[in-house]
Amino acid sequence: MRNILLLIIAGIVMSGCVAVPVTDTKQSAFPAMYTDTKPVSMIIVPAINESTAADAGDLLNVTVTQPFANPGYYVMPVSIVSDIFKREGIVEGTQVKGLPASLFKKNFGADSVMFMTITQWDKNYAVIAGNVTVGIEYVLLSTETNEVLWSYTQHVVVDTSGGNSGGGLIGSIIATAITTATTDYVPIAFQVHQRASGALPYGKYHPKSGQDGADNVVNIAAKDAALSD
């Protein structure tokens, strides 16, 4: 019985996988990041939340600065930027979507602006199988030219199945339900950022800046909807 259920669930999961990643080099995928005008600093605006989790944007903000600073960029403190936006009545990225990127250069002095779209922020539970999924689309724009410098789509699925809890099928069902319900999103969101930033070419403040153009990257471009209506 258990094997049949797992086969059914696996079939459902596999049928939902439609994205086909393309492996490329960083320089061919993101050529603007290897020019003399590549960005040094970035501002990250409040996330565009397409999920049903109302607190997803706030949780995302507390995990994004370090992963994108590590590749060698000056990331303007997200908490300070968020406070400035809130004072202007802006609490969600949709409110600034489509604005000229030059406005962020003028008002914040940043070379680039990062838009993030939360596409998945879900806890899924089916009998003895469960998982937590976080999916984010990233688009980095030049505040000088409004050009897309880098775009990426990343998601992480964490298995929260109960496994062999020692209580048989009922024990597995209960263990799965508890694990899925209590899983903390923050470390998962951090993991998503870490993986995505690994596809970002190194910035000026990284010792390998300009030396990673031949590195392979799985390039899954973020959708254009993150930029404009």
**SS3 string of 135-154?**
EEEEEEEECCCCCEEEEEEE
pLDDT class of 149 with cuts at 50, 70, 90: very high
User: Could you tell me which residue, 49 or 55, shows the higher pLDDT?
Assistant: 49
> How many helices (H) and strands (E) would you count in the chain?
7, 8
SS3 27: helix
Strand partners, 213: none
User: Average pLDDT, stretch 23-38?
Assistant: 88
65's enclosing H/E stretch is helix 56-69
Percent of the chain at pLDDT above 70? 69
Domain spans in the chain, listed from the N-terminal domain onward: 2-6+23-208
Give the model confidence (pLDDT) of 69-124 as tens digits. 999 999 998 888 888 888 888 877 888 888 888 889 998 999 999 999 988 887 65
CA distance 68 to 117: 16
Q: How do 112-126 and 41-44 pair as beta strands?
A: parallel
Q: At what angle do helices 56-69 and 78-87 cross, to 10 degrees?
A: 140
Low-confidence winner among 7-11, 103-107, 172-176 (lowest mean pLDDT):
7-11
DSSP state of 198: T
CATH classification number, 2-6+23-208, choose in 3.30.70.260, 3.40.50.11390, 3.40.50.10610, 3.40.50.2300: 3.40.50.10610
Tokens of 191: 């993991």
What CA–CA distances, in Å, run from 98 to 76, 146, 182? 21, 10, 37
Tokens of 215: 């590195």
DSSP state of 75: E
Tokens of 179: 């694990």
Task: Please tell me the predicted confidence (pLDDT) of residue 159.
Answer: 58
**Residue 200: is its pLDDT beyond 90?**
yes
Task: Please tell me the predicted confidence (pLDDT) of residue 134.
Answer: 80
Task: Please tell me the predicted confidence (pLDDT) of residue 85.
Answer: 84
Average pLDDT, the chain: 74
Task: Please tell me the predicted confidence (pLDDT) of residue 124.
Answer: 58
Q: How do 129-142 and 148-159 pair as beta strands?
A: antiparallel
The phi, psi pair for 147, rounded to 5°, reads -80, 145
